Amino acid sequence: MTQLVWNGLFVGSFYALIALGYSMVYGIIKLLNFAHGDIYMLGAFVGFAMLTSVGVIPASMSITALLIVLLLCMVVTGGIGVGIEYLAYRPLRNSPRLAVLITAVGASFTLEYGVSAVAGPNPKVFPVRLEGDSFTVLGARISVPQIVLMVIAVLLMLGLNAYIQRTSMGRAMRAIALDTKGSLLMGINVNKVITWTFFIGSALAGAAGVMAGAYYGKIDFLMGFIIGLKAFTAAVIGGIGNIKGAMLGGLLLGLLEAFGSQWLGGEWRDVFTFGVLIAFLTLKPTGLLGERVTERV
Amino acid sequence: MKLRIPKALAVGAVAAAMLATTTGCGGILGGGGSSSSADTGPIKIAAVIPLSGSSAPTGVYMKNGMQMAVDEINAKGGVLGRQLSLDLEDGACDPTQAAAAANKAVSNGALISVGGYCSGATLPTLPIFNKANIPMIIPAANSQELVNQKLPNVFMINGTGTQQAAAAVKFMVKDGVKSVALVDDNTSYSKDIATETKKDLASDGSVKVALSTSVTAGESDYSSAVHDIMGANPDMLYWTGYYQEGGLIINQLKAAGFKGKIMVADGSVDPSLVKIAGSANAEGVFATMTQTPDTIKGAETWIANYNKKFSSAPGPYSTQSYDAVRVAAEAITQAKGTKGADVIKALEGINGFQIFSGPLKFTPEHTLSSGGFQILVVQGGKFVLKDALS
């Protein structure tokens, strides 16, 4: 039982990190950025390229090296996210919503098969793998790498929350989410804020990608697809556009999967999970924390 | 998928009709057969194999194996005085894309097909080639579902899922395993082996199925499956899916402290499985597999030639793909032409033609008379022969 809870929370923290980017972007420009899951994949590949170019890393240094690579990857994937927004979404800012949605799907395929063409379609094995002892707490087996990754994820989420609540850029994001035109009239540089939103969202997804690569050990160019869908589900469950909702939704989705698979068997897990998504969308389309007139982001 | 087949059939029928018209025209106009590809010119061999997507690495092994056979045959003067030409189409291990690829191959004028890796993606291509009256020699896909279609043009030169399950059960009993967990990835191929294994275990009675579950392919975290397996605590886990998920499951099971044995099916037999699982974790993992170049006696020259030609080592299904082209060439030679019905008859008549898995003779169901499955084990990071089961 405690093992299930722990498993659920651990996977859920990955979902939450990616769901944040979905939710932030949706909150501000009402776009479902389907390329977001592929930014996660890109983060893993950028980290892979950095670590392999460094060469052999002594085991004692692996955590330090990984943290440095994590930060660098966040900058790179953040930059790529900004680039995608600039090239693919900004020119369509005033087009019908559907056009941007299709462009997002296009951006997703471009990233996937671009990486496949550059890095090859074979799965890659991450050069640094987080390994450590595990111990038992209340009957749940918990390993040191899991704790390290959970701590990083929680720190990133807390940092983001503080950034949105406390800084002027965060205030500007919230303002745009409420009323874009009004913000523009109040002298907020809307384009700059949207650029920052993409940067932060993509950096978080990139961080999740590096962490997944280091923990699970295998990366491939389609790894972002399913987790992207799951993160989207998490964002909807939590109330899309709501930052705390995305975090809560991610953790909840992780728990739903763990228990769904336990109760109904592995083959029914996704039926159960996505059944919950449908139920949420029909019964409470605003999600757990979303409100009809909500302060988005 | 069931819903998709009628559509594929319709498309296939249109393509076939178009093909019939074009060749018909060629016959009338050509008279002597100057432009018609059906009687002269290179013999087009089509292969729908995964060249993109997660199964693309195996697609490369297959492509090279086929190319090698084609080049060898062409160097010896071709078949019936005509050169062979390979038309590779990307099926991406995806039913929709594979059906489109098969239609493209048919309209390109394919005379025989030697493709088929993922069973789920190969299934919708069967009626398309059947409508066009093109014989298929399937080198890798081996789900029982393919056999169950009972199409006259379909021949399989890899052991079937049923034969693989029988080999797995034989080894479990021999190895003294008392309880087993069966985990598949919900694809046609994987589910097929798991179901057949369960059936065989039930009739054998000495091994208990402690758990039977599925996972979703393409994910990274299999902690819920690992949790279920740990809870069921079987003597052996039999994973019937592909190597990417297999590697992750082995890694996560060992990290969770699993002490039992692990066996994987042929879709997981790939050097990458060991890398993904970590070589310490993969050590001692068993596998049910048809002959690979490494385990075939006397294949050293063949491997050396392959290495020289492609500057890379052959992998799973290189040999079967190589053999598929050779069998196709043999059948066309026997049939003294490329007419579908004649080639099918020639394939049915083949008796004792040497391929890597032994002398070839098809059963009435167009499968191998013996599956040739053997048990491999990971030793020093490589799959080596453990038990030939003969």
Over residues A217-231, the mean pLDDT reads 89
The encoded tokens of residue B354 equal: 């040497």
| pLDDT at residue number B21 | 41
- Kindly indicate the confidence band of residue B19, based on its pLDDT and cuts at 50, 70 and 90: very low
For the ranges A42-51, A191-200, B34-43, the lowest mean pLDDT is seen at B34-43
Structural domain includes residue B361: no
* CATH code of the domain containing B26: 3.40.50.2300
The encoded tokens of residue A113 equal: 């098969």
Among B56, B186, B248, select the one facing A216 at the smallest CB separation. Answer: B248
| pLDDT at residue number B257 | 87
Q: For the segment A258-287, what is each residue's pLDDT rounded down to a tens digit?
A: 888 888 877 888 888 888 888 888 888 887
**Vertex B382 angle, CA B378 and B383, to 5°:** 55
| Residues in A touching B213 (Cβ below 8 Å) | 265-267
Whether residue B154 sits in one domain with residue B33: yes
End-to-end CA distance of chain A: 34
pTM: 0.78
Q: Is residue B371 predicted with pLDDT exceeding 80?
A: no
| pLDDT at residue number A297 | 52
Domain A2-283 has CATH 1.10.3470: yes
Spell B330-349 as b/e; 16+ CB within 10 A means b.
Answer: bbbebbeebbbebbbebbee
Would you call B273 an interface residue with chain A, using a CB distance cutoff of 8 Å?
no
Whether residue B379 sits in one domain with residue B244: yes
Whether residue B175 sits in one domain with residue B264: yes
ipTM: 0.81
CB B89 within 8 A of CB B46: yes
Whether residue B242 sits in one domain with residue B129: no
CB A209 within 8 A of CB A41: yes
Whether residue B152 sits in one domain with residue B16: yes
Q: For the segment B270-289, what is each residue's pLDDT rounded down to a tens digit?
A: 888 998 998 899 999 999 98
Q: How are beta strands B136-138 and B179-184 bridged, if at all?
A: unpaired
Residue A89 per-residue DSSP state: I
Percent of chain A beyond pLDDT 90?
36
Structural domain includes residue B40: yes
CB B119 within 8 A of CB B142: yes
The encoded tokens of residue B154 equal: 């379909």
Pairwise CA distance, residues B72 & B86, whole Å: 13
Q: Which helix (H) or strand (E) holds A183?
A: helix A180-185
For the ranges A181-190, A208-217, B35-44, B76-85, the lowest mean pLDDT is seen at B35-44
Q: Is residue B23 predicted with pLDDT exceeding 50?
A: no
The encoded tokens of residue B124 equal: 């919708």
Nearest-neighbour CA in chain B from A258: distance (Å): 6
Q: What is the mean pLDDT of chain B?
A: 85
Interface mutation vs chain A, best among B49, B61, B182, B224, most A CBs within 10 Å: B224
Whether residue B277 sits in one domain with residue B263: yes
| pLDDT at residue number A84 | 93
Structural domain includes residue B168: yes
Q: Is residue A85 predicted with pLDDT exceeding 80?
A: yes
Whether residue B379 sits in one domain with residue B345: no
C-alpha closest to that of A39 among A190, A198, A263: A198
Which of A175-184, B264-273, B307-316, B326-335 is predicted most confidently?
Answer: B326-335
Would you call B278 an interface residue with chain A, using a CB distance cutoff of 8 Å?
yes
Whether residue B170 sits in one domain with residue B109: no
Whether residue B96 sits in one domain with residue B80: yes
Q: For the segment A147-180, what is each residue's pLDDT rounded down to a tens digit?
A: 888 998 999 999 998 998 899 999 999 898 888 8
CB B279 within 8 A of CB B252: no
**Exposed, middle or buried: residue B2 (CB in 10 Å: 0-12, 13-18, 19+)?**
exposed
CB–CB contact A217 B278 (8 Å): yes
Would you call A269 an interface residue with chain B, using a CB distance cutoff of 8 Å?
yes
| pLDDT at residue number B37 | 47
C-alpha closest to that of B113 among B62, B45, B49: B45
- Kindly indicate the confidence band of residue B102, based on its pLDDT and cuts at 50, 70 and 90: very high
Residue range(s) defining the domain that contains residue B250: 162-289+373-387
Structural domain includes residue B368: no
Structural domain includes residue B363: no
Whether residue B116 sits in one domain with residue B49: yes
Structural domain includes residue B365: no
Pairwise CA distance, residues B121 & B117, whole Å: 8
Pairwise CA distance, residues A171 & A177, whole Å: 10
Whether residue B132 sits in one domain with residue B17: yes
Sign of CA dihedral A201, A203, A205, A211: negative
| pLDDT at residue number B138 | 95
Q: Is residue B329 predicted with pLDDT exceeding 90?
A: yes
For the ranges B1-5, B223-227, B380-384, the lowest mean pLDDT is seen at B1-5
Minimum CA–CA partner of A121 in chain B: B56
CB–CB contact A217 B225 (8 Å): no
Ordered by start, the domain boundaries in chain A are: 2-283
Which residue would you say has higher pLDDT here, B50 or A140? B50
Whether residue B121 sits in one domain with residue B40: yes
Q: Is residue B9 predicted with pLDDT exceeding 50?
A: no
Q: Is residue B381 predicted with pLDDT exceeding 70?
A: yes
Q: Is residue B290 predicted with pLDDT exceeding 90?
A: no
Cβ atoms < 10 Å from Cβ of B186: 17
Structural domain includes residue B366: no
> Considering its fold, how many domains does chain B have in total?
2
Structural domain includes residue B316: yes
Which residue would you say has higher pLDDT here, A291 or B63? B63
Q: Which helix (H) or strand (E) holds A13?
A: helix A2-29
